[in-house]
Amino acid sequence: MLHFSRMVLKNSKYGKMKLEVRELIVDDLEALLDYWYQSSRKYFESLGADIDKLPPKGEFKIMLEKQLDRPYAHKESYALAWLADGEAIGHSNVNRIRFGSEATMHLHLWKTSLRKKGLGTSLVKKSIPYYFENLNLRYLWCEPYAKNLAPHKTLEKSGFDFVKNYRTVPGSLNFEQEVKQWVISREKYLSLFLSH
């Protein structure tokens, strides 16, 4: 089981940043909820999400708390906190989990000033082992909004393979949209991440 992963990223604009990935804990929930409930309608649309589909904040918090305590084999959602120099700056989570088979990943950098700086690739690479090892996955999928370019670059640099473009409603907060489907298999994960 993986619980905590660290790396130091040398980034020309930000100097040296210690990037960490760990499982989401109760203390992270307020920042995660602030990200969702303080983001603008325009930002939601850029993600392919509909702000009007957000559940009441209290309900969302209860749902997240329930998932934190569930055993891996029974989780409906599994989330990781992304930290830079000890501060939570974002999260990754999976849903549509079929334990021992597959799950679908989502990526969210909360800090506007850190978006589109290359941090996402390092954080995704640190997140991938959690999903494969703790959920015993064969495949990890990701289906970002086709018009949101940043995650597609991140996924490609992180070892994901492009599968196809198609129209769907990818999640409970989304509107119907064109998405780009990406996948990384267990075999590719093992060759890229554990062969060193």
pLDDT tens sequence across 11-20 = 434 457 899 9
Handedness of CA 111, 112, 116, 117 (dihedral sign): negative
* Alpha carbons 120 and 148: distance in angstroms, whole number: 14
Contacts of 180 (CB under 8 A, 6+ apart): 143, 144, 146, 152, 162, 164, 165
Q: Note the pLDDT tens digit of each residue in 33-92.
A: 999 999 999 999 999 999 999 999 999 999 999 999 999 999 999 999 999 999 999 999
All domains in the chain, ordered by first residue = 4-193 (3.40.630.30)
> 7: which residues sit within 8 A by CB, 6+ positions away?
18, 19, 20, 122, 126
Q: What are phi and psi of 38, to 5 degrees?
A: -110, 0
pLDDT confidence band for 9 (50 / 70 / 90): very low
**CA of residue 196 relative to chain centroid, distance:** 24
pTM of the complete model beyond 0.75:
yes
For the cut 80, the answer to whether the pLDDT of residue 189 exceeds it is yes
Average pLDDT estimate for 157-186? 96
| Sequence-separated (6 or more) residues with CB below 8 Å from residue 49 | 171, 173, 174, 175
User: Residue 123: its pLDDT value, please?
Assistant: 96
